[in-house]
Chain A
Amino acid sequence: EVQLLESGGGLVLPGGSLRLSCVVSGFTFRSYAMSWVRQAPGKGLEWVSTIGGGGVTFYADSVKGRFTISRDISKNTLYLQMNSLRAEDTAVYYCAKGGGTNYRYFEYWGQGTLVTVSS
C-alpha cells in the first residue's frame, strides 16, 4: 500500500525558513517523480515543485529561488526547504507521487501539512 506522510509544518515569521518532509512507503521511491502541491485556505490547488526520478528539479515561478526540493533515497523521504517565506506562502502543503509511465499526473497524495506565515 502506497503511503505518504508529511510533517514539518507550523507557524513561522515572514522572512523565516521551514523544512517540510514527506516519508513514503509502498513503492520504489527512487524510480518516481515526486511533487509538492499547496492549497491556501479556501483557495484552489497550486503546483509548487517536482523532482524527477533522475533528480532533475522544477519550480513554479512563485517559489523559484526561495524553495528547494530534494530527496534522500536511503530514508525514503522527500523534502521542501522553504526560505524567505511570505504571507502568501500560507497553505496546506501536500506531497504527491507521480503516476503513469511519464509521471504526468499526481497519483497518490499525503494528508498535507499546514504552513502559516504570520507575525
Chain B
Amino acid sequence: QSALTQPASVSGSPGQSITISCTGTSSDVGVYNYVSWYQQHPGKAPKVMIYDVTNRPSGVSNRFSGSKSGNTASLTISGLQAEDEADYYCSSYTSSSTYVFGTGTKVTVL
C-alpha cells in the first residue's frame, strides 16, 4: 500500500487561508468517505482535526475544514494562526481493510 501524496510544505501569512491536498487512489480515498486529518506538533502525538472527510471533532476550531473530490481530499485552514504551524497528515481507510497515511505536509506561518 503506497502512502497518499501530500505536498511537502505549505506556507501562509497570519490570517490567510491555505489548502493541503491528499491524493490517493480508487482503492482508498476515492472509494470511501473515511478520510481523516491529523495535526502533529514537534515531539507530540498526532491530534485528529477532521474525520470522515468533513467532520470536525468537538473542540477543534471551525477554521479547519475538509473536502473531497474523486481520489483527492483537501484540508483548508482559514484565518491562519501561529499555533497552526505543525505537520499535517491525511489518512484513509482502504478496500483491503487497512489504513494508509499521507506523506505529510509541513505548514509554516510566515
Contact = CB atoms under 8 A, between A and B. Distances in A.
A104 B45 contact: no
Interface in A40-67: 44-47, 50, 58-61
Nearest to A44: B104
Contacts of B99: 35, 47, 50
Contact of B3 (A44, A105, A106, A109): A44
Contacts of A37: 46, 101
Nearest to A35: B99
B15 interface: no
Nearest to B36: A105
Contacts of A61: 1
Contact of A47 (B51, B100, B104): B100
Interface in B61-110: 89, 91, 93, 97-104
A105 B91 contact: yes
Contacts of B40: 45
A104 B97 CA distance: 10
Interface string B1-19: 1010000000000000000
Chain B interface category by residue count: 20 to 34
A interface, by DSSP: helix, strand, loop or mixed? strand
A105 B101 contact: no
B101 A100 contact: no
B46 A106 contact: yes
Contacts of A100: 51-52
B91 A102 contact: no
Nearest to A61: B1
Contacts of B91: 45, 47, 105-106
Interface centre among B40, B99, B102 (most CB of A within 10 A): B99
Interface of A: 35, 37, 44-47, 50, 58-61, 94, 99-100, 102, 104-107, 109-112
Given A37-B101, A46-B101, A50-B99, 13 more contacts: A44-B104, A47-B91, A47-B99, A58-B98, A60-B1, A61-B1, A99-B57, A104-B32, A104-B36, A104-B52, A107-B51, A107-B57, A109-B47
Interface of B: 1, 3, 32, 34, 36, 38, 40, 45-48, 51-52, 57, 89, 91, 93, 97-104
